[in-house]
Amino acid sequence: MLHSVINIRIIFFCITFHFMLVSGSSLSERVHQTPGDIHSQPGHTAVFNCSHSIKDYDNILWYRQTKNKQMEFLGYMNVKLGFPEAGVKVKINGNAEKEQTCTLTVESLNLSSSAVYFCPERCANYEAYFGPGTKVTVLGKKGNVTTPAVQVLGPSKKECRSDWDLQKKKTLTCVASDFYPDHVSVSWQLNGVSITVGVATDSDATKSKTSRFYRISSRLQVSAEDWYDPNNLFNCTVSFYDGKETSYHHANITGEEDVHLTRKEYLTVTGNAKLSYTVLIVKSCVYGAFVWFLVRRLQSSPGK
């Protein structure tokens, strides 16, 4: 009993201290978790499988991260012994050693079971490494799966007001809406080639306040030079898991014809305008001086 208490204290210390530091480590790629997504109905059972290929690691922890980002500890496996957390209705079986499989079974799912489930490796005197996680959605009574509607919006007019500097950035926005549940990811392509630089996607889909549907947006910044090329095709792809398979939904937009003046053209036009204005001013001054001369001549003539 004392040994278990000590183990749990060590686990919590390691997870708290290392989670933010090492979850992105390269060793995290050696923690494998299946399935990646689960859709289920209330009352059903969910089973998660976890394995790893990290030498000398023989403890697997189980956590779930709820919608409000809180991490809830579910229990752990020490080699071949499972230790579910008190008061948590889960089963932990299998083997936590390298190249073996540990399973977490959650029975009697309910709406509060919707979360992302993780199986980090226990650290003890080492670090803890998190795998990709499994996203679980327990569907509600009206939980019919609905695929997303996708559209791509071009840059705002304000953003495109000054276009002489081709280094300026233009922002394209991809919006996926009216989908349920929120098992989606967003990616961008330019002329069929994947883009990752300049992409900012919402961390989570947001649920409508008036319906069960979700919405997510992603923004892509491109140079004005790329945008003002009608041969460029910007494509947004939204992948959606419907509980059985992943479907892909696309929307695209082409670059615009550059009808704005380039900086060189602008300087030429404004230079010509300034020259014309200067010539006009000079002519006006000469004409005014000539009129003044005539008036003075007439005033000084005899008999006038």
Beta bridge partners of 35: none
DSSP 215-253: EEEEEEEEEHHHHT-TT-EEEEEEEEE-SS-EEEEEEEE
Beta bridge partners of 28: none
Burial label, 157 (beta-carbon count in 10 A; 0-12, 13-18, 19+): exposed
Q: Among 195, 266, 255, which residue's Cα sits nearest to residue 225? A: 255
Query: ∠186-189-193 over CA atoms, to 5°?
Result: 135
pLDDT-derived band at 196, boundaries 50, 70, 90: very high
143 inside domain: no
Residues 47, 159, single domain; the answer is: no
3-state secondary structure of 249: strand
Residues 26, 99, single domain; the answer is: yes
Residues 27, 126, single domain; the answer is: yes
Segment among 18-22, 29-33, 222-226, 297-301 with least mean pLDDT: 18-22
Tokens of 249: 């939904």
3-state secondary structure of 179: strand
149 sits in which H/E element: strand 149-153
Q: Structural domain tally of the chain?
A: 3
User: Which residue range(s) make up the domain with 25?
Assistant: 2-138
Tokens of 27: 């060793």
Residues 25, 118, single domain; the answer is: yes
Residues 236, 268, single domain; the answer is: no
Residues 250, 269, single domain; the answer is: no
Taking the C-alpha atoms of residue 222 and residue 234, their distance in angstroms, rounded to an integer, is 10
Residues 272, 208, single domain; the answer is: no
Say what percent of the chain tops pLDDT 70. 77
pLDDT at res. 73: 94
Mean pLDDT, rounded, of the chain: 82
Say yes or no to pLDDT of 200 above 50: yes
Residues 159, 129, single domain; the answer is: no
20 inside domain: yes
Q: Which residues contact 236 (CB under 8 A, 6 or more apart)?
A: 150, 152, 172, 174, 186, 187, 188, 218, 220, 250, 251, 252
144 inside domain: no
49 inside domain: yes
Residue 249's CATH number: 2.60.40.10
pLDDT at res. 301: 67
pLDDT at res. 267: 62
259 inside domain: no
60 inside domain: yes
CB 116 within 8 Å of CB 135: yes
Tokens of 209: 């306040």
Work out the end-to-end distance of the chain between its first and last CA atoms, rounded to an integer number of angstroms. Answer: 129
Question: Full-prediction pTM beyond 0.85?
Answer: no
Higher pLDDT pick, 261 / 91: 91
Residues 174, 238, single domain; the answer is: yes
160 inside domain: yes
Taking the C-alpha atoms of residue 23 and residue 162, their distance in angstroms, rounded to an integer, is 43
pLDDT at res. 6: 39
CB 121 within 8 Å of CB 31: yes
pLDDT-derived band at 239, boundaries 50, 70, 90: very high
pLDDT at res. 43: 92
Residues 226, 278, single domain; the answer is: no
Say yes or no to pLDDT of 189 above 80: yes
Q: What is the mean pLDDT of residues 34-46?
A: 92
